């Protein structure tokens, strides 16, 4: 198999003309699409509907091209969108396809996807979410023929978020939901999903009571988000496999804290690139996609100096940290169409995060 990774600009969450044109011109076979990951215009919080809007737009576009129903498209292709293009970030979506390889020697970038069954509010941050996510990660690895956890570079999980009405309905049915605060439940969901990834990859022995408590347990490749537009956990595993060929490679590195620009340089080095201090134009053109996970440190400090992100009643902490860490990574890559997601509970070291980069190898 051979993976291809194509980024399209997103002028509006309902404007998928970029992919439409690529399909119309037969540059992309819609049946070969394995996943779409993107960054949309909303706030990335509970009341962000730009994720659902893009998903609906893509589902109708692809269904129209393949003859599938929109529902069938959504059951086959994970659409994983993170809202919030704060600061310099540019709205875009990245289409992952897999096609028959050209016979060139691997190993190369490998892609696998899987879905859990639907989750209810009372499953969020609980063993059921963790176990089902771990099983889905294992499924996705198998389907991608990634042989070892050490060959996994990035696991993107998108799980459900629930509004107050959803939570109330669940509670009235007798469900025990971990919190009645919709934003906080999103955090439990990210955390539970991340610990599920860590379990699948053998990074940590995880149990329900670790969720949002034992931050020494984390996955160094998980990136988890949540949105009201889906009901199950969708899982995309990216890594390296000898069963895949083609020009693309992937690397990742942890971010020790929000200022850890060296993590970006480490990931680039693994792909044979050097930024000094910024990637030159030729290397920049080799970048196919970059993924960043970050969070506002819970102790309120960055290198000993206070930040104010957790005290702010006007701008959510996630919007602050995405603007900041997104800009740092962009300043190294010279590129603003990055997937940057906040809320890094159990995703990378506490107070830090991770970066993964897909690039054409030389």
Residues from 157 through 176 that contact a copy of itself (CB under 8 A): 163-165, 168
Q: CA-to-CA distance for 48 and 145, rounded, in angstroms?
A: 35
Q: Tell me the window of 24-32, 82-90, 99-107, 285-293 that interacts with a copy of itself (CB under 8 A).
A: 82-90
Q: Nearest distance from residue 55's CB to a copy of itself, in Å?
A: 9
Quick one: tokens of 162? 């629930």
Whether 20 is a known active-site residue: answer no
Choosing from 20, 34, 39, 158, which is the catalytic residue? 158
Residues from 242 through 301 that contact a copy of itself (CB under 8 A): 258-259, 261-262, 265, 275, 277-278, 298-300
Whether 34 is a known active-site residue: answer no
- Count of positions on this chain that bind a copy of itself (CB under 8 A): 79
Beta strands in the chain (DSSP E): 2-9, 33-40, 79-83, 92-99, 108-118, 152-160, 222-227, 232-241, 248-255, 287-293, 301-302, 305-306, 339-341, 353-360
- Which ranges of the chain would DSSP assign to H, the alpha helix? 17-24, 50-66, 70-76, 127-144, 164-172, 182-200, 262-270, 281-284, 317-333
Choosing from 225, 245, 297, 341, which is the catalytic residue? 225
344 counts as binding a copy of itself under rule CB under 8 A: no
Cβ-based neighbours of 236, under 8 Å, separated by 6 or more: 34, 35, 37, 78, 80, 96, 111, 112, 113, 140, 155, 156, 157
Residues from 30 through 59 that contact a copy of itself (CB under 8 A): 41-50, 52-53, 56-57
* The one among 117, 175, 202, 306 contacting a copy of itself by CB under 8 A: 306
Q: Nearest distance from residue 10's CB to a copy of itself, in Å?
A: 9
312 counts as binding a copy of itself under rule CB under 8 A: yes
* The one among 80, 146, 194, 337 contacting a copy of itself by CB under 8 A: 337
Q: What is the set of active-site residues? A: 158, 225
């Amino acid at each position: 198999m051979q993976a291809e990774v194509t980024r399209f600009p997103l002028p509006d969450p309902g404007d998928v003309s970029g992919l439409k044109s690529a399909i119309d011109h037969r540059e992309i076979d819609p049946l070969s699409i394995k996943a779409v990951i993107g960054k949309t215009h909303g706030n990335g919080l509970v009341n962000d509907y730009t994720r659902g809007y893009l998903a609906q737009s893509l589902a109708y576009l692809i269904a129209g091209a393949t003859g599938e129903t929109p529902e069938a498209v959504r059951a086959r292709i994970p659409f994983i969108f993170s809202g919030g293009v704060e600061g310099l970030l540019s709205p875009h979506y990245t289409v992952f396809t897999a096609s028959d390889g050209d016979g060139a020697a691997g190993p190369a970038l490998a892609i696998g996807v899987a879905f859990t069954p639907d989750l209810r509010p009372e499953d969020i941050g609980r063993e059921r979410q963790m176990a089902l996510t771990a099983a889905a990660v294992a499924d996705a690895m198998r389907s991608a023929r990634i042989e070892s956890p050490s060959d996994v570079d990035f696991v993107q999980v998108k799980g459900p978020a629930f509004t107050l009405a959803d939570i109330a309905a669940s509670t009235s049915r007798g469900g025990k939901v971990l919190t009645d605060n919709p934003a906080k439940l999103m955090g439990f969901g990210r955390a539970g999903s991340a610990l599920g990834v860590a379990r699948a990859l053998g990074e940590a022995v995880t149990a329900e009571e670790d969720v949002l408590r034992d931050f020494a347990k984390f996955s160094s490749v998980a990136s988890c988000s949540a949105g009201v537009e889906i009901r199950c956990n969708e899982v995309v595993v990216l890594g390296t496999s000898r069963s895949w060929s083609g020009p693309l490679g992937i690397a990742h590195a942890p971010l020790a804290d929000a200022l850890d620009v060296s993590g970006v340089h480490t990931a680039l080095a693994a792909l044979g690139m050097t930024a000094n201090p910024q990637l030159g134009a030729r290397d920049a053109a080799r970048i196919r996609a970059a993924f960043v996970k970050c969070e506002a440190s819970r102790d309120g400090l960055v290198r000993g100096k206070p930040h104010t992100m957790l005290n702010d009643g006007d701008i959510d902490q996630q919007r602050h940290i995405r603007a900041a860490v997104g800009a740092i990574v962009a300043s190294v890559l010279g590129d603003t169409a990055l997937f940057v997601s906040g809320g890094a509970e159990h995703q990378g070291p506490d107070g830090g995060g991770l970066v993964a980069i897909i690039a054409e190898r030389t």
